[in-house]
Amino acid sequence: MMLVRHFYVSQIAGDVTEVDVQVILGTAQMTNRRLDLTGMLAQGEGYFAQVLEGRSVAVAALMARIRRDPRHRDVRTLLEEPIQRRQFARWAMGLVQRDDMSAAMRDAHRHGCPDELHARRLMQALLDSPP
Ligand SMILES: Cc1cc2nc3c(=O)[nH]c(=O)nc-3n(C[C@H](O)[C@H](O)[C@H](O)COP(=O)(O)O)c2cc1C
């Protein structure tokens, strides 16, 4: 069984409300538990960033659905890597509010990350220790 981690940043659609985000979270928690997927969703001003962990086929199938989701656009993958073990094993999907990281999310969305190290650092900064 091959475990992978996928980390992306996207631009939130203009009409998305707080309620919409709660609905996304509810769907995610239910579906992810069933598919043995784990991860975290960060929300900044205008941007989502999400990390998903699980079996590569399950992550790929979900990413295909997420890319088509009209509640955000321009899903930009920052990191996609095989992993030995999960970092967010306790969460089917958690949400962290990171308005303080909006500028970093915007930069990563516009320009990507120069290398994997930067991507990993951004992921840790966003998701590892919620404020
Ligand atoms: C930012 C964002 C993150 C999402 N994360 C998940 C997730 O972790 N798990 C999930 O099942 N759906 C997630 N969704 C919802 C999916 O895009 C999709 O609506 C859901 O899987 C149902 O797919 P379907 O309508 O094609 O059946 C997310 C959507 C957005 C906009």
73-99: pLDDT as tens digits: 999 999 999 999 999 988 899 999 999
Q: Is 67 in the pocket of ligand 1 (CB under 6 A)?
A: no
- Side chain identity at residue 118, one-letter code: H
Q: What is the pLDDT of residue 128?
A: 76
**Tokens 């919409």 map to which residue?**
20
**46 has a pLDDT exceeding 70:** yes
29 lines ligand 1 (CB under 6 A): no
The model's pLDDT over 114-131, given as tens digits with 9 standing for 90+, comes to 999 999 999 999 987 655
pLDDT (tens digit, 9 = 90+) per residue, 13-31? 999 999 999 999 999 999 9
DSSP summary character for residue 21: H
Which of 52, 55, 62 gets mutated to test ligand 1 (max ligand atoms within 8 A of its CB)?
62
pLDDT at residue 82, rounded to an integer: 97
Coil/strand/helix, residue 40: strand
